[in-house]
Structure 1
Amino acid sequence: MLKLSIKTQLIISFFVVMLPVVLFLVANTLYAKNVVRDKVSETYRNTLDIFAEKTDRSLSEVSNYLNKMGVLDFDVGLLSSFPYGSDNYVLTKIRIQNKLQRDIVFYNPVDTLFVYSGQDIFFSTTGSYAVMNHVLNDNLDGIIKSNKASAQGRWLLWYDARVPGGDFLVKVTQVPDSNVYVGSIIRISELLNQLAIQWKDGKIGESAIYRKDGMRLGVPTKWDHFAAADNETPPQNAELYQFVKDKQTGKRFLRVDRPSGQADFTINILVPESYMLQGLPYFQKATYILNFGLLFIFALYLFFIRHMLFKPLQLLIAGMKKLSLGMLDVRLQTNETLEFVFLANTFNNMAEQIKSLRIGVYEEQLRVQKIELKQLQAQINPHFYMNSLNIIYNFAALKDTDSVKKMSLHLADYFRFIMRVNRDLITLDEELRHIRNYMDIQKFRFPNKLDCVCDMPNKLKSIPLPALTIQPFVENAIIHGFVNHRQPFKITVRGSLLHEQGDAFLLIAIEDTGIGFTEDVMRRLNEGEGLMSVETSRLGILNVIQRLKLRYDGRADIRFYNVTENGGAGVRIQLPLAEEHGQIEEEIV
């Protein structure tokens, strides 16, 4: 079951009580807002539909006019039958030109009516004659080619920078059985001007025309700050409307789109949401003020509860966390609340008792370390005694007094170190001298077969470490690695410094050329598991591991590995250094 704090429960209870009231006010406001927005959107949608239908009807009428002119007009039909430049051709051209000038007045919003015979272009326009003459001469061939490839009956969208606004609609109809074409041009800017009449006040909104790919057509109107619909593809479903946000001002607008049935463009209008919701903001503000008032009351309530309840609880929790991290000197300050005075006094008494108990436990751990060290000193393999004495006896029988003297001295030094180590720490150099004594004794047993190399920088030899930290691993290497006594066996002891996360460590590696660890033994040693009874001849390994963990509060690390795939056992000992030895590395370099 999920457990919640007192603070969380109080906040939840407050919101459970106040949430229905706030939700009702907000829902009521949103409902009124949606009703007004839907009705206004429907009105603007209807207005846009009327304009779009009127525009399509005008385009359809112009298309019908072009079709009738190409099929029924007598002069247009005869134009291709007269030689270019002949009197009949010129007279027919004049009559057609007069008809174009007459008819262009009746077909609003047509900008240009033209006839193209392949060799000649004559037209009537409401704009600049020179500009339109260049536009027609440069674009008609491409327009006719695109008209043949496009769907029949639809107007083409074309662009020429010389036309006001750049974008225009063009429709071309071919006269049957001839190379004569009748066409018309309507500027998009003219359609925008007619569309802007419906929204001539910039506060109401703005209109625009887009291609299917979302590119805006024509010249923008003077209210160019309405950029919310730019670079957005109009929705394919004409019945939908959406609300968009102006990237410059951050205001929201109603966007309504209506695709044309005569050409591939979409008519768009934008209406500010603030204009649609006139009058509602006052009611919204009252609702928001009421909600903020409730939040203000809740804030005062939380401030009072925080001073009386939350702050003392946080202090108590913080004290418990510090206590759990071992900061036993933490104590809580009491306040005027009776309950928390009792809790603070109880906590302080508990912290004092834990501090006393921990000191006792630490002293007990130190005693255990000393006992374990003495046990390790007493764990001398009886076979080592027997073998050493047998070696001395054999040398004496052979009357090799020099060897007897050397063996006796090495054995005396070895046992003197074992029996007289009563300090918690010795230097690394003392440990290495003890290892050399041990190896010299073993070399008497296996002459020319054993070798031990110590690669240790001189500056490291003064570093203190617990007694008998390295020697048990060297002895274990000989007992378990030196199986084939006929083959040479080498032990290497290396030392170096390591810095990790600002702390300095002494690294000691003991490696041999023996058979190495089995996978099961290496796994159990690295995981700290006990060894089977048959393997307990690994003298003192687990004892050393336990002593180092107690001595260095778990910061010491011992890893067992195989040097190569073919054999060779390795032990990596990592011991943290005291602050006074942290700069040894710089001295060595």
Structure 2
Amino acid sequence: MVFVQSLKVKLLLSFVAVIVPLVLFMIVNTLYAKEVVRDKVSETYRNTLDIFVKQTDNNLSDTSEYLMKMAILDSDVGLLSSYPYGTDNYVLTKVRIYNKLMRDVGFYDMLDTIFLYSNNDVIIGTQSNDYEKMKKLLRDHVPGIIENDTNNSNLNFWQLTSDDLIPGKFMLMKTIHVTDDLYVGAIIVVQDIAHMLGNQWSDGAIADSGLYLTEQSKIVKALAGGDGPVQLDGINMNDKQTFVTMKGKESSDQYLVMYKGSQTSNLAYSIMLPEKTMLQGLPFFQMVVFFLPIGIFILLMLYLIFVQRIMFKPLGELILGMKKISLGMLDVRLQSDKTVEFVFLANTFNTMAEQIKTLKIGMYEEQLRVKQGELKQLQAQINPHFYMNSLNIIYNFAALKDHESVKKMSLHLADYFRFIMRANRDTITLDEELRHIDNYITIQELRFPNKLVVTYDIPDPLKNFPIPALTVQPFVENSIIHGFKNRKQLFVIHISVEQDLQDGGGFFLTISDNGVGFPPDVLEQLREGKPLAEGESSRLGIMNVAHRLSLHYGEGASIRFANGADGVGTVITIKFPSMTERKATG
């Protein structure tokens, strides 16, 4: 038994135990790796394509429902045909309708144009800059679209047509009858849908994509992005088939092709993934397996030559540990294993180091632990409402099937929590704190899209200053909770850092916003350091930071509270002491 625990025997047995199964695994794995990779990758890409097509169809259906509601429920649309063309009432109603169309066309990402069409007039809300061009286009195409929509029983179906005035030539159109000869309708540019599909694969960096015209279940011709390496014209689509393998039209490269037809238009969506990209590592892997036995034999010889040297590594660690102990580094410990020769030495060394450390621990170390414990307890007081709001946002995104937002929210929330759980260090750099704030703001922006922005004015050398963790973030959170009242106005938070010229090593950090500012009574209490009223308990983070700065720096740090000019917004300035003062107070 003692012989088995010998270092030399253990090294040889461990080498054989690891290498032999690895070689066998690699040999067996090469026999089926290619098929497994192809199946799994195609399944993943097909699922992504299905989700995109379903989401696009849902967007088209939602737009059809919006047009239906406008035709039935919008009072101005209903009144327009009751006024004689050109009268004051007609013009005023037309202006109101135009403003609504221009407003609504910006709410729907896919929409290029919303319009009201009649024999006498055309009202257009469009993202195009050429109004007359769109007016001519509608006059040319809407009559035919109206006739086809009348004959189509599917109210959510969008018709495909083409015009050289449209980018990419092809577009989807939909009309809803309002009254008499008045119709409400919309235009979606096919090229825009193709760009959205291409963005799923980093615009062709991973895979090529395209949109095609279909007749029933047959692909007829390419509409947008169809100039890829594979020609799909004439293919009969089969939804039960996960993928098909096809050769490129200009090379012999193999491609995995996935396609999916739309339920709301005569469109088919396709992805073409090159096999050489997906399986580019396998040929090298096969070559490695071929030369692996030779390499193992050479490696084993070298291993046997140097095995004696390997035995001295634990001895070197023991000597190094003794040197560290002599220098006062009492936390050093040796890792013990089952090797007979070194278990006794490692255990004896660790016991000796622990006894030395215990003898040197006194009242000063105990007080220091109490102080650090209080700092960590204060640091752990996180606003529970933020957790609940974040989970509600994720739930709402999931209910809306906005998977991209769910993934984005989850990643930023994970980074936020990871920082909180790792914020038990005494200090972090200012740059780490700012990155944590960016995660927090990104999460809040998902709650309030296009309503929040944070700007910075921080010299690069000052970003490396050490500060207590979670010193700045509570003020940013407090600004959003209490200052962000006017949701129609862009809420701006500005963080700046300025060197303290009077104190050579210190600096001032200022957090300001354009919110509603501190109420006078709250501002007075904050300046005097008095406890806030029960109704102001959500400002616990401010007092928390003030207490932690006091524990960390003593009187070397301070916080000033003020409202901005004309009472707009808040201005909070934190003074951090120089490195010399920090060492003295720490």
TM-score calculated relative to the size of structure 1: 0.42
TM-score calculated relative to the size of structure 2: 0.42
Based on CA coordinates, which of the two structures has the bigger radius of gyration? 1
Q: Comparing both chains, which one has the higher relative contact order based on Cα–Cα distances under 8 Å and sequence gaps of 6 or more?
A: 2
